[in-house]
Structure 1
């Protein structure tokens, strides 16, 4: 090889060529038996395409793209300033906190967020936290990545959960540690985003509101992938702004990494990526309208978004056919969510809002307390758009795209699908307060800063007031219900656990040494209930029920039977909507031994 060839083909280029050939050979020679052995849900229809076939296609496309990069020797060259996003720099104001003071304040708030999220971390796991442990903890990493048994396989959290169990054992606090870590990290991530629209002082206010937020704390102590999704969506949104504005390689690499990890955290990141692509195209259009060279920026956007999307697709290639089958079947069942234009959905939203202000219901007092916060947050939306429109749309559009997709596909809706609006609401509230105080005391900026800070602190106190009830109530009180049943039932009594109460009662019953095989029956059908009643012996029968809405919708005949001939003995509240556990006792043996009237 000549010296000229060595110069034209540096080591990195040769390495990429060898990698491309290796990827292509892997796709061509990949065996099929390992895929056939992956766990599946037998009751679901077969996927439209084999996951291993999809993986082969993805790998071949990846190899082809690598060969094109080698052939054309594509390299990163920074775009000219006229091809980049204008403005959107971190906001600096006269008299603001120094960088050191801002860093100290953020550290204190982050430590507060950590303390709040570690407190009472060992409360009862709820249904959707228990099922990933039982489904995936014993599987290998390739099996976890390649299978999709249920929609609560939040891949990144499931993999971290498995490691936490290996390190600390199967404890409620250990399986929730990944959610805690991402929940805490989300506080400085929001601060970083807020700096595009707010001063350091006001950005600390936004971080404080998120740190004491009931809803963010709820998901931070929930062994699922929602806080990872939130944190990574915030990071990718800020990295996108930086990339469009400065076009530095490090910003684009952070954007791709945050997006791919976001997909691993939650598949809802697909809507984040789609929204960010639309926002980036809007930036390209603005560059074009301003007379700048827009094509280089368009090529950059298409390449970066394609890389992020392609790597994410590669991550899910094996499981994606199963993902499609599970989501399109499960979320057509009304009990998994709500219809958008229904009073039930309105009530659930109102219940969630009121819980964030210290009420477990949707009483007038709780709603009245929430109204000022919501009004202030709404008033701040235009201000955020004016200050940092790319950030505002990057956080707002994913929820709108999610809503459109669910409506078009005829799938059910849950408030958690729009969780990215939580940091947006916090941000808009602080911007509204900041603008309002600045307008009233425009000639006295120090007074405006003091009043604005006090108003944000008052909102934080109002939000923190809800935490007392949150800490006092587990997500689902399985241990309390189990202890009550074991304490109250007589030796000859039987306990019938109905439908969705089964998983949690089995999980905690086995750990408490309850006589599950001898005295407990788990039923999901009317014949199973009749059989349990026929074999009850001389004692009474107790019922344990949870998620009564799902029982009523999925199994109406069974629901009608469990309402006949039973007396409610005790209800144990939970913070999960409709996740409270009720215990019923048989009134009259004859009343429940026959068929329903």
Structure 2
């Protein structure tokens, strides 16, 4: 790998601008599709509250800093799906720019261009950029924090560490799990302090200025969460209890998380999934080697965040959703691009053909871009979860005496958001009571993989007395909405 580029030329800025425009187009196309369950829950229980009530209680479902922006946009542009999601678009495009900066710090402008392009085309990055939730904001603050951390370790300027503290506070106020990333960076800093790994000299400024940044982050975070602090502590105490009785215990497995992450990335490809995983791990390993000379703490920071997140979630018996690692996608893409170049150069040196390295790197980049273009199109195949379509269909075909039940693991979103007179069923007892009543009925099943497990009798009934009517596709994992009827 070549050393980091010392300056940014006009051509580099032009390429970056093109990539950002591409990212913006991909993230605004189809932005007004129907809201899915989590988005509706966020809007109904948080964003639509008066400003003074938005910090009245803590919920893991709330992304507080993001929701404030979503509320502002909805007040300016109206209560439209695209308005709630637009802050996610802005932070999604911002994350592309932050990744470009990060890649330039650990490699050079060529790696920065390719990394930013792949993040712009990333299926997951586009999906979450069109989601009225704070994940792209969390990714933006985390990547920016990583850039500032790496800079601060090499050149411990006070301004850098103050900016780091502000960034950390913004991330944690977006969502409490944002603390995982900055705790990981703190552990990396301690390792560097004790062992000398990744630093040149140990000075008073190197030790004290990061601590000032941390102090700023802690004070601002405490002030931000102070109105909901009692509720926050109570919620943390209840997490293990709710997870222990969850029928989907598989969600607490790191293996499931890894497999689900690969599945949503490349689809159900059978044995190809294993091949992709092996090649990906090898490329990441090359990336760790390739970034070691310029930024030896870069790979360590990513690995530490994954380890810290897994340790905390498993210790609390929490569900290990792949989205908890969403912030790592961009930095891992940087590692993959660097690894591709490093591996290509290694092959060229072994074969003593210097020009071959450039050809192999270009071929690898082309392959990654082509695959990314193919995968990103899946974002536009269907809404994330078509609750609006299911509601319109059921109401439009509903008989005069037909009862409608929403089989749903959460609250009555059809009633709160659509004004439906439907009854929510969340467990086997509620289902048995509904089926015991005579007369025609319609069942709208959300998250069918989960609900068929929660209500075993449902699977039996759909093969007998219930008639399948229609399925509404969704890009969300387990995002189909199924409609059944009993005459």
CA deviation after TM superposition for structure 1 residue 103, in Å: 1.3
1:542-585, Cα deviation, whole Å (9 max, x unpaired):
21111234435656677877776323332222222212111112
**Is this contact kept in 1: 2:156–2:205, CA < 8 A?**
no
CA deviation after TM superposition for structure 1 residue 126, in Å: 1.0
CA distance in 1, matches of 2:386, 2:272: 26
Give yes or no for the alignment of 1:309 onto 2:215.
Answer: no
CA deviation after TM superposition for structure 1 residue 458, in Å: 1.7
1:431-477, Cα deviation, whole Å (9 max, x unpaired):
11111222334577666345423421320210221122221121111
CA distance in 2, matches of 1:527, 1:280: 52
Mark the CA change 1:246 to 1:227 in structure 2 (over 3 Å): closer, same or farther.
same
CA deviation after TM superposition for structure 1 residue 181, in Å: 0.7
**Aligned counterpart, 2:32:** 122
Structure 1 length-normalised TM = 0.73
2:44 to 134, 158, 165: 134
CA-based RMSD of the aligned residues comes to 3.1
Mark the CA change 1:147 to 1:571 in structure 2 (over 3 Å): closer, same or farther.
same
CA deviation after TM superposition for structure 1 residue 274, in Å: 1.4
**Aligned counterpart, 1:481:** 390
SS at match of 2:105: coil
1:431 to 324, 338, 345: 338
**Aligned counterpart, 1:52:** none
**Aligned counterpart, 1:570:** 470
SS at match of 2:470: strand
**Aligned counterpart, 1:403:** 310
**Is this contact kept in 1: 2:192–2:199, CA < 8 A?**
no
**Is this contact kept in 2: 1:284–1:294, CA < 8 A?**
no
CA deviation after TM superposition for structure 1 residue 102, in Å: 1.5
CA distance in 2, matches of 1:284, 1:439: 32
**Aligned counterpart, 1:39:** none
**Is this contact kept in 2: 1:569–1:584, CA < 8 A?**
yes
1:357-403, Cα deviation, whole Å (9 max, x unpaired):
3x3x3534566556544542344234334541222222331221111
CA deviation after TM superposition for structure 1 residue 175, in Å: 0.4
**Aligned counterpart, 2:232:** 323
Number of corresponding residues: 482
Query: Structure 1: which 5+ runs fail to align?
Result: 1-88, 511-515, 590-597
CA deviation after TM superposition for structure 1 residue 266, in Å: 1.7
CA distance in 2, matches of 1:162, 1:553: 36
Higher relative contact order (CA 8 A, sep 6+): 2
**Is this contact kept in 2: 1:551–1:559, CA < 8 A?**
no
**Aligned counterpart, 2:319:** 412
Give yes or no for the alignment of 1:521 onto 2:431.
Answer: no
1:50-106, Cα deviation, whole Å (9 max, x unpaired):
xxxxxxxxxxxxxxxxxxxxxxxxxxxxxxxxxxxxxxx97139xxx9622221111
Query: Structure 2: which 5+ runs fail to align?
Result: none
Deviates more, 1:397-406 or 1:409-418: 409-418
CA distance in 2, matches of 1:207, 1:90: 18
CA distance in 1, matches of 2:157, 2:61: 36
CA distance in 1, matches of 2:37, 2:192: 43
Q: Whose Rg is larger? A: 1
Counting only pairs closer than 5 Å after superposition, residues 2-41 of structure 1 correspond to structure 2 as none
Mark the CA change 1:379 to 1:509 in structure 2 (over 3 Å): closer, same or farther.
same
Give yes or no for the alignment of 1:159 onto 2:68.
Answer: yes
SS at match of 2:54: helix
CA deviation after TM superposition for structure 1 residue 263, in Å: 1.0
Mark the CA change 1:576 to 1:404 in structure 2 (over 3 Å): closer, same or farther.
same
CA deviation after TM superposition for structure 1 residue 348, in Å: 5.3
Mark the CA change 1:415 to 1:458 in structure 2 (over 3 Å): closer, same or farther.
same
1:163-192, Cα deviation, whole Å (9 max, x unpaired):
111011111111001111111100110111
Counting only pairs closer than 5 Å after superposition, residues 210-359 of structure 1 correspond to structure 2 as 210-285=119-194, 292-330=201-239, 332-333=242-243, 335=246, 338-339=249-250, 342=253, 346-347=255-256, 349-357=258-266, 359=267
**Is this contact kept in 2: 1:350–1:367, CA < 8 A?**
no
CA deviation after TM superposition for structure 1 residue 264, in Å: 1.4
CA distance in 2, matches of 1:428, 1:256: 25
CA distance in 2, matches of 1:337, 1:245: 45
CA distance in 1, matches of 2:206, 2:125: 36
Give yes or no for the alignment of 1:100 onto 2:7.
Answer: no
CA deviation after TM superposition for structure 1 residue 353, in Å: 1.8
CA distance in 1, matches of 2:116, 2:484: 45
1:175 to 77, 84, 91: 84
Mark the CA change 1:212 to 1:423 in structure 2 (over 3 Å): closer, same or farther.
same
